[in-house]
Amino acid sequence: MKTLHNKIDGRILKQKMNADSTPRMTISFYQYYHLKNVKIFRDHMYLLLSEIDTLGRIYVAEEGINAQISIPESHFEKLRAALDTITFLENVRLNKAVEDNGKSFFKLAIKIRHKIVADGLNDSTFDVTNKGIHLKAEAFNQLADDPETIIVDMRNHYESEVGHFKNAIRPDVATFREALPVVEALLKDKKDRNIIMYCTGGIRCEKASAYYKHKGFKNVYQVEGGIIEYAHRAKELGIENKFIGKNFVFDERLGESISSDVISKCHQCGAACDTHKNCANDACHLLFIQCEDCAQKYGNCCSEKCHDFNMLPDEEKAVVKKTLTFNGSKFSKGRYSALYNHPL
């Protein structure tokens, strides 16, 4: 029987990926759908996608599927054909990465979750299919030019820090679950205004738009296909790109440039920078922004403490790490104020 989970060490898989010169492309897709047997569907997807050399991270739940994957460029039509064999994924939108080096994933992982996006909502209390109006890039630009329109970034603070649409409201939150009540409170007196929401590929706004309509918001819109589809279409049509900076992505790349603007700063020295990294100290692993000068100074770590710890022999690390507190122990995701001028 074929193994339906990867059992090879991740370090070996990363080395293999980096050494492979096969042109690959990064794709994301999602679909809300009521799945009756999630385990059977999960195993079927693993077998189906393994056949076409798919790498990536996929979440499946009773409410549907959320996928970020990488495939050889030559297998795109095979992927489309494979997904079309599943009724609810037939002709599903496939969002191609804007800036792609083909090194986004190094293994295939398909995980069963309670939700495909953690939102904390009780879906039985509202109609999740009664979603907001989708706006293509040209329609978004037109509505965004209306001074009465409110644009809302439904992503997390570490995403919007490096890039966002012009004039967007950007909640200071670390999770989508946190964003929902925060945005609702911010807009409680604006339920008759045009509200446009956006996220990376559209999945968070799909749920949020239905929720806010349920909460009494009258004119709810969402950017079709999220930032990724917007960037492609704006370029195709030659229209103004209203997104400034970089689009944060949840894979090995950690970002793709939508415009040439660098709007964020290194969390350690304050220099202009939009390069996210995970602290090289695995016991910390904090996500933060670091410039090349600080990367050299701190050995790709978020602090002197992590740098010094990383220089220890493995045996000594194992002994002392339980007695130490790193930045990653205190902050789930790095904030500028948490690290700047405070290299613990």
Answer for the pair 196, 150: CB distance below 8 angstroms, yes or no.
yes
- Measured CA to CA in angstroms, residue 323 lies from 16, 280, 320, 326 at distances of 35, 19, 5, 10
Q: Rounded to the nearest 10 degrees, how much is the dihedral formed by the CA atoms of 238, 239, 240, 243?
A: -80
Answer for the pair 277, 290: CB distance below 8 angstroms, yes or no.
yes
Q: Could you give the CA distance from residue 169 to residue 144 in angstroms, rounded to a whole number?
A: 13
Q: Could you give the CA distance from residue 133 to residue 221 in angstroms, rounded to a whole number?
A: 5
Nearest by Cα to 205 from 223, 193, 183, 229: 223
220 pairs with which residues across the strands? 195
Q: Tokens representing 226?
A: 């999220």
Angle formed by the axes of helices 76-84 and 38-50, nearest 10°? 150
Q: Tokens representing 201?
A: 């590929």
Q: Tokens representing 180?
A: 């929902």
HEC string for 268-324: CCCCECCCEEECCCCCCCCEEECCHHHHHHHCCCCCHHHHHHHCCCHHHHHHHHHHC
Residues 6 or more apart in contact with residue 172 via CB below 8 angstroms: 157, 182
Eight-class DSSP state of 85: T
Q: 199, 266, 294, 301: which is the annotated catalytic residue? A: 199
User: Among this protein's residues, is 291 annotated catalytic?
Assistant: no
Q: Rounded to the nearest 10 degrees, how much is the dihedral formed by the CA atoms of 59, 85, 63, 117?
A: 30
So which residues are the catalytic ones? 199
